[in-house]
Amino acid sequence: MQKWKELLMRLNKYIAFCGAASRRKADELVLQGRVRINGILVKEVGVQIEPGIDTVEIDGKTITPEDEKVYIMLNKPTGYVSTAKDQFGRKTVLDLVDTDKRVYPVGRLDYDTSGLIILTNDGDFSYAMTHPKHEIKKVYIAKIKGKPSISQIALFERGLRIEGYTTAPSRLELLKYDAASDSSVVRITIHEGKNRQVRKMCDAIGHPVMSLSRVQIGHLNLGDLEKGKSRPLKAEEVKRLLKAVTI
C-alpha cells in the first residue's frame, strides 16, 4: 500500500493516484471545468491539495485513493476509442474489460487501429509508460499500399519531417509484398507516441496505411490474445515494464 509522502500534493497527481485519470488527462478535466475541491470549481492546473483533508470531485463524484492497483492488457479491435468516456457515444475500451476498478487506458490507439493497449488505475505507472523521455518501444504490424524502397526504409532510420517536427529514429521492416494487390506487410518500431504517428510516417513516404495493429509495448507482446479479449498482467510483467524507466 502506497503511503502519502507529502502534506501537499499536486491535484493531477492525486487524481492519478486515485485511479481516476492519468496526470495529463487530469489537467484536461480541470480545464474542462469538471473538477471541484471542497465544492469549489477548479479553474486552473497546478493547484495543490492536502490529501485526507481536502475533498476532490470529478463530475460531481468524490474520488478516493485505490489501494489495490490493477494492470490489464487488451487486444483492442477497431471501432473502439481509447478513452474512458466518449462524447459522441462511441464504444470505448472500457466496454471490453471486466473489472470493478476504475481503470483508464495508458496512452492511446486510434479508433481505426487495433492491438495491444494497457489499462490501469495506477497513475504513476501510466505516467512512466507515456512520458516521452522514457522512449518506450512500440511495435506495429501494418499493411501499406505499394512496396517501400530501400531509400524510403532508410528515411525511417534517419527521422521523417512531418507536420513541423522530425520524428525520432525508427525502424521499418518489409515482411511481405503481394504484387496482386500491390500491398506490403511491414513491421514498424517507434519510441514515440504522437497522434497517428505511424500513419503519418507512412503517408510521408507515399505508402499509406491500409490496416494497422500494435503488437508490442516494451517487452510486452500481444501474443495469441484474441481480439476483443483482455487479461491481467502478471506481477513480473509489470516489473519488467517499469524496470526500463524511472518513475
What element of type H or E holds 203?
helix 197-204
| Residue type at 146 in one-letter notation | G
Residue pair 29/35 in contact by the 8 Å Cβ criterion: yes
- Burial of residue 17 (CB within 10 Å: 0-12, 13-18, 19+) is buried
Q: Which one from 54, 86, 110, 203 is the annotated catalytic residue?
A: 110
| 48 beta partners | 10
Pairing relationship of beta strands 114-120 and 209-217 according to DSSP bridges: parallel
Residue pair 176/185 in contact by the 8 Å Cβ criterion: yes
| Residue type at 64 in one-letter notation | T
Instruction: With both helix axes pointing from N to C terminus, report the angle between 235-243 and 123-130 in degrees, rounded to the nearest 10.
Output: 50
Place of cell 510516417: 201
**DSSP code of residue 8:** S
E runs forming strands in 138-202: 138-145, 161-162, 165-166, 171-178, 183-190
Among this protein's residues, is 110 annotated catalytic? yes
Strand, coil or helix: 127? helix
Active-site residues, by number, are: 110
